[in-house]
Structure 1
Amino acid sequence: MKTFLSLLGIAGLSIFAANAQTSYGLKAGLNLGKITNYDSQKFNPSYFVTGFADIPLAGRFSIQPGISLQSKGTKFVDAIPNWDQTNSEPYASSLNVMSIEIPVNAVYYVPVGTGDVFLSAGPYLGYNLSGKLKNSKLNSNATNSRDVEFSGNNKMMNRWDAGINFAVGYKLSNGLLIQAGYGLGLTNLNASSHSKDFSSRTINFGVGFQF
């Protein structure tokens, strides 16, 4: 955690020290989420919105600190995180978590055609704002949902998350960009002794504009 906070502090100082070449951008797109340690999952489609600064360092390298609103989760069939230990029937279930993330990515640009191919990677620190677990019994039409609890005696998930982002994309000379990426969660998000430990895994596709 100290390493992540140090990286964020360095990124913040870099913004203030950056010259006029610093540019800013906004990107948004589709998240396809799953979690580790559970079988019978399907991707849970959701979204992300990210604002970022692109700070040139040397040559074709840049650093990109940002702030991102992320919706993640997964879908299960008869393999849900059974936090209360009361489910006895097969369920179709979905887990959705909304979080704020602060990524700090290193970016390398390669001129191709009228723009640049870019490769990026770096750590992120996340804070889970809210979550919802929705269950539907497969043998009936009954459904129920509950808010994910992040504190108290019935705590289900941890607030803090951290991991590494990877992305590849193409940026046109006019600033328009497209990308595909992967978010590798490294922390255990489970906070209940009734469930297995798990981390997030997210594939994303996005479009954006760098001013």
Structure 2
Amino acid sequence: MKTIALILSFLVAGFSARSQVNFLAFAGGHGSSAQYFVKGQRQDVSYKPGGIAGLGVKIPFENKLFFSPAVFYSLKGYKVDYTRFSETPRLDAVANNTTMHAIEAAFLFQFDFSAKPGHFFIKAGPTLEMYVSGKEKLKLDDGTSVNRSMPFGFQTYGRYGANLIAQFGYETAGGFLIAAQYTRGLTDLSNQDGGPDIRQRAIGLTFGKYFHRSKN
């Protein structure tokens, strides 16, 4: 949470330095999955539904380039069937279904293809995330199942991570936007030495509305 507070303080400083800032509220849905390796062998991973919701700003930077940071909630997860086994999540697990709740702070730059009120744009940059909580449903090799909270720690799952976000979308003259969004995990979700390599993926659609406010 200290990271999020620092980001918010940075945004407030940015507001006071500009004559006009576009405030953005947005939400969207995505298919969430992961690139998952155990001892170098790729595991069979499938998508599951998730989504995002948050607030951002669009600050003029240079010509048609804007700084567009945001803070948002994200719902992520994946389903995996194991062909090789690891202590994370358990040595006797043959499948896992995870659901994770995270807070992310994004440092994005946006380029508008036109100065007209209605225009296409691209947006990209890194995010820092903190997992608030997570659940996993393990299927074990004896046919039983275990439902539990995901353990975050030094030799289990990491609570902090980083991602790369890329968007391509359209902003209307009325201040609405729609964008296709791709998220690629830059860091390994697993903290276990010699454990799995788990890097999350998501692809979906984001919808938003700008609210304009000029500095007096």
TM-score of the superposed pair, with normalisation by structure 1: 0.82
In 1: Cα distance, 2:8 partner to 2:164 partner: 14
Matched, 1:119 2:122: yes
SS at match of 1:14: helix
| 1:83–1:194 CA contact under 8 A, matched in 2 | no
Q: Deviations over 1:22-41 (max 9, x none)?
A: 11011111121222224211
RMSD: 2.7
| 2:52–2:74 CA contact under 8 A, matched in 1 | yes
In 2: Cα distance, 1:166 partner to 1:84 partner: 30
Residue 156 of structure 1 is matched in structure 2 by 156
In 2: Cα distance, 1:94 partner to 1:16 partner: 45
| 2:92–2:141 CA contact under 8 A, matched in 1 | no
* Amino acid across the alignment from 2:153: S
Q: Deviations over 1:36-70 (max 9, x none)?
A: 22421111211110210111122211111110101
Choose 196-205 or 78-87, whichever is displaced more. 78-87
Q: Structure 1 residues 56 and 81, CA, compared in 2 at 3 Å: closer, same or farther?
A: farther
In 2: Cα distance, 1:71 partner to 1:148 partner: 14
| 1:7–1:104 CA contact under 8 A, matched in 2 | no
Matched, 1:107 2:107: no
Superposition deviation, residue 12 in structure 1: 5.4
Superposition deviation, residue 84 in structure 1: 5.2
In 2: Cα distance, 1:7 partner to 1:46 partner: 24
TM-score of the superposed pair, with normalisation by structure 2: 0.81
Percent sequence identity is 22
- How many residues are matched? 200
| 1:100–1:129 CA contact under 8 A, matched in 2 | yes
SS at match of 2:168: strand
Q: Deviations over 1:148-202 (max 9, x none)?
A: 11137xx521111112211000111101111111112111220124631222222
Alignment of 1:56-135 (within 5 A): 56-78=60-82, 82-83=87-88, 85-87=90-92, 90-91=94-95, 93-111=96-114, 115-135=118-138
Residue 3 of structure 1 is matched in structure 2 by none
In 1: Cα distance, 2:166 partner to 2:47 partner: 18
Residue 22 of structure 2 is matched in structure 1 by 23
Q: Structure 1 residues 112 and 63, CA, compared in 2 at 3 Å: closer, same or farther?
A: closer
In 2: Cα distance, 1:169 partner to 1:205 partner: 9
